[in-house]
Structure 1
């Protein structure tokens, strides 16, 4: 009747019931449709604090149940097939953000006393807006101070919409989506920002400008007439000559044998170190029943050696703004690529956060690790992680996860061409940088064996090396050895 954001499905269903009641009464049959406002004393509105907080901000207070029941009795005795029963604070409705024209609504326009209250509320809203008009406050400030003030305004309004008692719950660079905004609260925040700024902002505001600091920069441009700062030099996309050399300006890796950096990896190689060892003990594998020297024994491996990452189960989820529940649902390959991508950028002298919004590309080689299967086998797939399993275990998300966390807007491509995946990813990254599709590219790959599937399959094919070591081009070669690792490169035009 007065508009319910996010309740379009209810509106359609209730309109049908209104029409049904009208139709029945027109044929002399019983029929009554009551459009109810909020009831007090329990029910959905009291089911959790988020809903209670939201209802406290709307100009329709919860009705006294006794009064509502009495209204129902009067409706049953009345002649109208369709009635509306609600308690409305008309003055608050008139002053609510985004409702300055409420007094022109038919329901209000036809009721003189209510119209007067709504007009008074709308005028109060307008007066409050002019008294604290942001544009005049910003006029005498330096640009950095303008950004700080507007960021604080956005954070305060966002905290209010989400029902937080402190603005500290809303970080300036945290995505609105990660803060808990959905399409309904996004519109609410837009309305609040309309009231705070005097602007007419789009309903898609928090999706177009996904963090408080980015939104504040947009608002500064709207209020002062100045354009946003131009993108940093690294974001300028230029088509390069096809023969221009490319440079690897940063790298990071995780390899067996304790190689957690390029320097440690080089030391492992130059010293002739051996990274091959026994199967990992922290992945839920049945190590006792898994090994069988009989090459025909199904479900077993005739080798018990490989080169494994001993810290593949470790991850600092909070550093990347990922909840523990989502981190548990994530393929460890995604976790490793996040870590190595961040480190590779830092080692290139680039602040990863500074690339947000830039046309930086991500090209990652990977394969299905079987992590989701392992979770199912150990009974963890239903341990509160539903809703995160699909994005956490889709190979395609290996590259997309990096782009999303860092806010990159260049190509995001996951390549699975088996053993050549990382090389193909680097090739595609080089092409993209040269063609101008991206200004900078992260390229590399990852392999983590969450299940022993590869060992079982190659045992049946008798393609495994007995001691887990490869002897390429040697007369002693007896099969492949499986290993894990992750490596990322930062690629840029040499110029």
Structure 2
């Protein structure tokens, strides 16, 4: 469909954002294309530039109600063409997905076809922008005249967790399998599984510390008992090309390399505002750089399996993991590229593993609560290996082994937590509220519900309800069973809030109230009570309440008002309002048409609500 395009302007750097803020068009367009070098330096340069623009744009007051459209070219496999022609652009998608989760309804990803010639100087950008904004989707690919949005679908080819006997012989028992991160908890779990269930007899387990890693020697011995004939545990930095080349050269000619499983990875979590190019580079090392070397240096070998362990965070956009999401989205792109070139390649974008395994071992109670509240349940080791086997049977470059509680997802979507668009196909009726015009209506509905609950309450009752409302959301974010643990005046920072939990609380309150709340709301109003009072001012117009601010002795108030001379009310500027109230509420004749004795009766007949609003000077 077509529609009017709001005012828009291009930005390429953080500096451009400041310049554009002078006119502040409704839409800013950032082009993020790789230069074709297809290496780690290019990925880092492009994601670093996009990060700079995101950071500048998100904090610029002039763009608070605007939309940033990040345009990539060939970064996602859309339509019939499954190839990804710009893996650096794919990493941008991972980074921006995290930014979208942290800042709902503010950023749109738009991928165009390679060679489409669509750019911010081209006239055809306007109708495309109009069409994309009209969809209400936050992630869109344009191929010709077709717009598509990403959705996860259930795999039916590898239905459920298979019996191992159904799995085709993916691994050659005479060949050698290389496992990176092989001495870590996931790598070790996988190595045992390959030997015991897949008949793999020759393994090279690689990690930074190699044989010096904790439990490495015991693991090698255990694999021997399970049936492995040779297990080499090697120290190697897989981000070092020469080291990887030497490692591959050390594999025995009698048992050539036939399989690669890359499980290595590191985390360095932080919300978009706190990330830096250095923090991108740190996480990219064992992911982007290492997989680039493994992909390039094994291309002439006869591999039957090239599997990389990626993360669903790169697809769903885990808040606080922009750098990790970008690195994993790049891994997914490498698998697509390999498959398009006729080579084996599969990326397994794992959900949440049980806490004992390496990368999730750092997760605290709050992180675990966040994941499970989002409907993502932890995968037990045995389940995970079953999912690994199922993934090998799926004829796709990207598989998402994840355990989801769909009922929880649906409930969370309804409660204002929203639902990532990617999961919309799995949850009926849970599609995220549309953006654009629909977005305003959706937000208003939520706020209207809250306003309706507050109607008819006294000011104190309203504040108490809002305080419990805030405490309820705080308890949910912190993983508490109820609000009892949430003190009304306990500072958020003392309750355990960090930048990530602050972002989540803001987004939940935003979804539930329909208010545009600043990202700094938790710092501006640093306790549940302060935040509740702020919401009170925002949700209830002009502080109007349906009852008194103090407990009133009604009979005494009526007597007092009845004894007031009319001139006193007139002098206080209350008489006109009183006349209108009497006309509207009691259908009595106006005060000027009856004598003074009847005036007093008219006032005496007003209910307390009317009297108090009158006394407060509310017109």
TM range (shorter): 0.3 to 0.5
TM-score normalised to structure 1 length: 0.38
The structure whose RCO (Cα within 8 Å, separation 6+) is larger is 1
